[in-house]
Structure 1
Amino acid sequence: MIFKKEAFLFYFRLFWSLITFQIVTKGILFLAIFPIAKGILQLLLTSSGKSSLSSGDFLPTFLSLQGAGIFILVLVLLVILVAFDINAFIIISALARKGNPNLPLIEMLGISLKSVKNFLKPQGLLILIYVAIIIPLIGIGVTISPMSNFKIPNFITDVIYNNPVYLIAYGTLLLVFTLITLRYFFFFHYCLLEGESIKEALKKSASLMKGHWKAFIKDFLVKIGLKVIGISVLYCFLILGLILILEKLKIGPGLAMFVLLTIAEIISILGLLAVPIVIYSVTDLFYRYNERDGYPLKNKVYKIEGYPKENKQTKKGKAKKLGLFLILASVFMINASISVIYGLFFNEIAKGNHKIALVAHRGGGNLAAENTIAGMRKAIKAGATWTEIDIQRTKDGYYVINHDPTFKRLTGIDKASDEMTLEEIKSLKVKDFFDQERPVQPVATLEQFLKAGQGKIGFYLELKGDTADKKMADDIVKLIKAKKLEKSTALLSLDLNLINYIEKKYPEITTGYLYYFSLGEISDINADILIMEEGEATTLNILKAHEAGKKVVVWTINSSDSINKFVKSDVDAVITDFVLDVKKGMKERDARSDLQIVVDDILN
């Protein structure tokens, strides 16, 4: 019984120390380091003549002196994040394993910052970049917190998954990265705890894993994997049970917001333990495997014996308790205030008449062959508000609808639009890859497309490929004006310079800028519509764009999770291949109970 009590106290102190460290370091990051970094970034952008940087105009800046400054800034942030999110927990885990679970916060911060010196070398920085970018993609190991949800944009993975060659290459690459990660899984431990050089740490990590890979599969991948699954299932049951109880009690939205918001905060705080616990488990395996091999660990860098094992109760302890009480009381009051306001203005806040326009991707999405009039007609019938199409110029100066650099994927002809005349292109037949039993379709001209849809649907016209230039912009604006389609047409491009040209020469024409990453102030981007890749469409970015008087469109919303998320968001429109699925999602959104709306508001 005494042993169980001691064990409980040990882990309680350890977890308390870890949570405290997480909260403090996250506070330092979000209240100090990130704002300072943002200020430096803005200065660098301003000195280059820009206020923002995005996927459509980043290259010249990245190759400039300011680009070098941005790269150095990113590396500095990366080093600090690794110190806080990985290094500190490895060292704290080692200290805790030797009986010291309650290291003072100042000591923990000092240890984390001192640890970065091991990686201030070119090869060390490369490893940190690997940890930040590759680890999130393979899903094994620990990365820095801002990159934990990093993934390849969906518009790229859609291409990969729909091409067998790309898919095999991508899968092979992920497998190679996974094997590399597992081989050097204990690299950080040898660097930080044993003071080994990067080369020696890699060598010893590979040797340790080689001798214990079978045990590692059981001890880490299986056991921790099962624990994660178990905790996830328990979490789902608890949340579902709570929601059912609240539903049965029929409490108002204000009280429901208070209860669920408080529980969400508790879960978020407990969630801060996830990474430290995983690192503690890996550190424990590091010591156990070395002990089995009879290897005497040196603990060169951090002498664990140098830290006291117990903290006596002092006035500081009482001050901490008072501080904790004040923090909890403040959180309670903030939650209560939010909930009262939410309850009083629930209909205005949560049941507003926000309408989301539906944009059929490449004509009609999956309703017919892409970028065809048949697809657009089906999109109109399905209730789409807009159709998005891709425009290219032919060899003899006409404009046709096609997405890819060549016609090969859709028609089998490996030629670009500007290598063929309009007559040659008219003979091509577009296959329907959504349903190969449906008939092939002709390649449409822009004029045919506009004529078939005028008065029935709006047009998002993307200026596409190598022929997307100022001449294309001039010609299409002329056509739009001739057909009096200014109010039902928007010109889109991934090229910000082309958008700037249209904005300057034709301010009366609606423009839409497509992009998948940005730095700086997106509100300063010179376009009427910001068309964000879904990873870029955060609540904050949507709010910033709206405050600047711009509309927000998200592309390309195809997965059930994405549809469920964005039909409940504040975006102005979504671009999708699955028009009917999005329509269904909108109906389900409108049929939600008050409690379901509260849950969605908290989750979003």
Structure 2
Amino acid sequence: MTFTAPEVIGHRGAGRGTVDGLRENSAESFAAAVAAGATWVEIDVRRSADGVLLIHHDAALADGQAIVDLPAAEGRRAGLLTLEEALEAIPADIGLDVDVKTVMEDASDPRERRTMTLLLPHLRREARRRRLFVCSFDPAVLLAVQAEAPGIPTAWMPFVRNPLDQAVAGAAGLGCQIVAIDARSFGLAGDPPRPGRRTVDYTVEVAHRAGLEVVSWCPGPADAARFAAAGVDAVVVDDVAGVVAALDGR
């Protein structure tokens, strides 16, 4: 099993955007997530024009320039970490959730330039020293990890507000160990019922029966506690301290 349920994963570090003055996917944000009680940190990995892996969620910088079109030096000047710097900044006893952001050019560029070709050696090395799993919206990423680094768990993130039926069945069909479900797909506290949507408890029970662990992104403290009570194995969150307190208070 990947998790000792329930576990807290800091989303992009201490949370998306800027949290308490700390920019997402920065060394300072990773440290803040750990200090607040996260046992895992989630990072976003994408490639530059010259084949360097950088840590950034969006496809472009704030000025609109696509990262895949820029040399790594320009990304560094914009404040982006390299993957090596991020790995150095996250203690080895903290788990690593690697969200892989492939690009359209991965379909046509030579194999040696593609995101997964660049990433796989890092994954193999990190898997020898820490807990690690790979998640992506792109099923090709998960299949590549399963083929080239089969000991590393994979998690399918179908899409935002994904239907629960397809999320669980799809992750199992792809051969993943984990399904990553948008919290809004479960229905947040106060949402009206949606006909046909399964309960959190039922969804988790079916996923576990299929051999899947369940991660949810990004619930707030109240929903994180509710999901944990239903058996969700881990939550990727923007309010680490609030979620840790909510789970401790269950």
Aligned twin of 2:233: 572
Amino acid at match of 2:90: G
Q: Paired residue for 1:453?
A: 90
Residue 534 (structure 1) shift: 1.9
Task: Specify whether residues 459 and 588 from structure 1 end up closer, same or farther in structure 2 by C-alpha distance, changes over 3 A only.
Answer: same
Whether 1:385 and 2:39 are equivalent positions in the alignment is yes
- More RCO (CA 8 Å, sep 6+): 2
- Aligned identity (percent) is 25
- How is 1:370-381 mapped onto 2 (pairs within 5 angstroms)? 370-381=24-35
Which structure has more helix as a fraction of its residues?
1
Give the whole-Å Cα distance in 2 for the aligned partners of 1:521 and 1:425. Answer: 38
Distance 2:129 2:148 in 1: 15
Decide whether aligned partners of structure 1 residues 467 and 398 sit closer, same or farther in structure 2, where only a CA change above 3 A counts.
farther
- Contact 1:387 1:458 (C-alpha < 8 Å) held by counterparts: yes
Q: CA deviation at 1:475?
A: 2.2
C-alpha deviation, 1:355, in angstroms: 3.0
Tell me if 1:524 matches 2:173.
yes
Which residue, out of 351, 357, 364, partners 2:7? 357
Kindly indicate whether the alpha-carbon contact (under 8 Å) linking 2:102 and 2:115 is maintained by their aligned counterparts in 1.
no
TM-score by length of 1: 0.34
Q: Which structure 2 residues correspond to residues 282-293 of structure 1 after superposition, within 5 A?
A: none
- Per-residue CA deviations over 1:309-356 (Å, capped at 9, x if unaligned) read xxxxxxxxxxxxxxxxxxxxxxxxxxxxxxxxxxxxxxxxxxxxx731
> What RMSD, in angstroms, separates the aligned Cα atoms of the two structures?
2.2
* Aligned mates of 1:569, 1:421 — CA distance in 2: 46
Q: Deviations over 1:114-150 (max 9, x none)?
A: xxxxxxxxxxxxxxxxxxxxxxxxxxxxxxxxxxxxx
Deviations 1:171-207 (A, max 9, x none): xxxxxxxxxxxxxxxxxxxxxxxxxxxxxxxxxxxxx
Task: Report the 3-state secondary structure (helix = DSSP H, G, I; strand = E; otherwise coil) of the residue aligned with 1:567.
Answer: helix
What CA distance in whole angstroms lies between the structure 2 residues aligned with 1:420 and 1:447? 18
Letter in 2 for 1:509: I
Match of 1:479 in 2: 122
Which one is further off, 372-381 or 514-523?
Answer: 514-523
Alignment of 1:107-126 (within 5 A): none
Is contact 1:390–1:461 with CA below 8 Å preserved after alignment? yes
Deviations 1:489-520 (A, max 9, x none): 21111012331232233211211111222438
Q: 1:363 to 1:568 in 2, by over 3 A?
A: same
Structure exhibiting the larger radius of gyration computed from Cα positions: 1
**Structure 1 513/486 Cα, relative in aligned 2: closer, same or farther at 3 Å?**
farther
1:507 aligns with 2:150: yes
8 Å CA contact retained: 1:486, 1:509: no
TM-score, scaled relative to structure 2: 0.79
| Post-superposition offset of 1:521 | 3.3
1:159-198 aligned within 5 A: none
Instruction: Give CA-to-partner distance per residue, 1:400-431, whole Å, 9 cap, x none.
Output: 111112111xxxx2211112111111111xxx
Q: Name 2:183's counterpart in structure 1.
A: 534
What 5-or-longer segments of structure 2 have no aligned partner? 187-199
* Residue 149 of structure 2 is aligned to residue 495 of structure 1: no
Query: Cα–Cα, structure 1 residues 496 and 391, in superposed 2: closer, same or farther, change >3 Å?
Result: same
- 8 Å CA contact 2:92–2:129 kept in 1: the answer is no
Residues 195-234 of structure 1 mapped to structure 2, 5 A cutoff: none
Distance in 1, matches of 2:225 and 2:247, equals 8
What CA distance in whole angstroms lies between the structure 1 residues aligned with 2:153 and 2:105?
A: 17
Aligned to 1:420: 70
Q: Is the 8 A contact 1:392 1:467 kept in 2?
A: no
* SS at structure 1 position matched to 2:59: coil
Bigger share in strand:
2
